[in-house]
Structure 1
């Protein structure tokens, strides 16, 4: 079970890291706070976290998705008991262990006055609970000064409501551990291009592009061929830094290092997805999702589709060796298309002259020269993530 203030979930890289975290830790139930995802986008973002999840939210109280509750239907069942502006009460049943308990998920508002209704709602929920219960979430409040490890000093007015609630209902605060895992909002081509040339302009461009291609191949081999390993490396380093932050209590000491690692993780995760998108030759349409598994599977499917392992000849014989398959394909198309003829019969001019013809306006339109504007329009509509052509350059590089 995880309760996590994700501080926004619109960024594809953050969606990917959230999904990876839930997968790596085997989470069956999660509560995500402050997603900042609008109601009409919620279902799409939730799908990107995995199709095995069911979700409950409370957009009726907030348009920014303040609380999302997710669970795996094959492992647990969840029934909503009550919703308020700042909390949701559900009944959770473990399908494997046959355990039932009540869970209150909290995301408190940001001022003392606004949170007063939260304590009233929580008392009512606790008074009417029929099962063992657990309260999790982000209260946006502290019960003692040591709960805040950075920022302004804690005043008594900030702690009194929370402390009184804990004393009145008799609940105990569970000890916490683990990393904060918070999010902070904080040329090769030129050298290759200028290294060669030719007096003939077109030949010069061809030579320059060839030099750039070789330079980019070396750059990719040296720096980007193991992008997925870089992602795992920086993800592990980030978790280690945040663990040290949690254990030492000194956030400022590691804050700069954490911010640097978050930026590196974003950078390499974007590179990894870009490489996979081009290998898969799938246009990045409305998904906008860093969905590594999807593209790995697409690459496998495309490779299998383009590989011929067996053919059946016209006589029904199965051939499965490379040489036999090649010979069969060549023979098939030779028979289909024939061989080069010494002469061809002339066309029937009478049929052409008396048959259906284009109008004068249509012939004029088809014979017009292609304008520069039309060329530019066609070129600039090519998607940046389309796979490279025969010259191994994609549209983003050229334009």
Structure 2
């Protein structure tokens, strides 16, 4: 894993040199896990300013362009959003920005899927401490070969075993048996892979379409075969949507399995309280804009079967299916089938 600690200059022209260095470094770290963390002294978007100015500066554009070229993105974070305050000693200061961040590439997320970033409260510095955690960061040991029973159902299984068992090995009987078994490992692995590749080719197009729907990317066609791109989008979405820790109203922090319980307790208290209600004598005081009788009646007119069919068939085939897995076309077919049975 490559790791770079960043301390960006306050001068925009000097930061351009930093962007050039990162681009040069990306040629070395390409296809390897890469993580960049520290103070970049510039934000990526207007949402990272507490004042939220409507203009995107040239420095922000240069920063975003650099990150796109080296193919890194923010690691999912918990805790505080802003990492820098203009005046720590002034409690009324409202100028906050996100200067500190942790960036990583796709290879890093693949190797460390549980990695997460935590932004801690301000202590003695104007900058918020940033901590990265790598659960289960050690590499897995190489697995021993295990014969899977489904391999015996392959057409070439008997022939592969016969060829390996008929191999001439000199030495003691037990040595011959052990050696033949070891030599069969590679042959059986190749047999499983050959069959798996055939099945993979058949399912490749289907997988691409599913990834396209899940990633919600509409401007790429199935022929582009951007499987890696879709996986990258999905990983980033999962990384940013994951909640590793949560704070209650008293500032207490909950992690791991306690996150779910605390979330449930929060909504129990939030939604379980009964508020005080008072009667309203005249609704016109609240609802000042209302529909006239003709407009109101037009919203409840009956809908014809052709209108239902037209609306369903207007849904793009690339749209994700519903929670039951049905597409628009299959839903309409089921509707017509139920209607015919009923009639």
TM-score range, shorter chain: 0.3 to 0.5
Q: Flag the structure with more relative contact order, 1 or 2, with Cα contacts below 8 A and sequence separation at least 6.
A: 2
Tell me which structure has the larger Cα radius of gyration.
1
Scaled by the length of structure 1, what TM-score is found? 0.30
TM-score by length of 2: 0.34
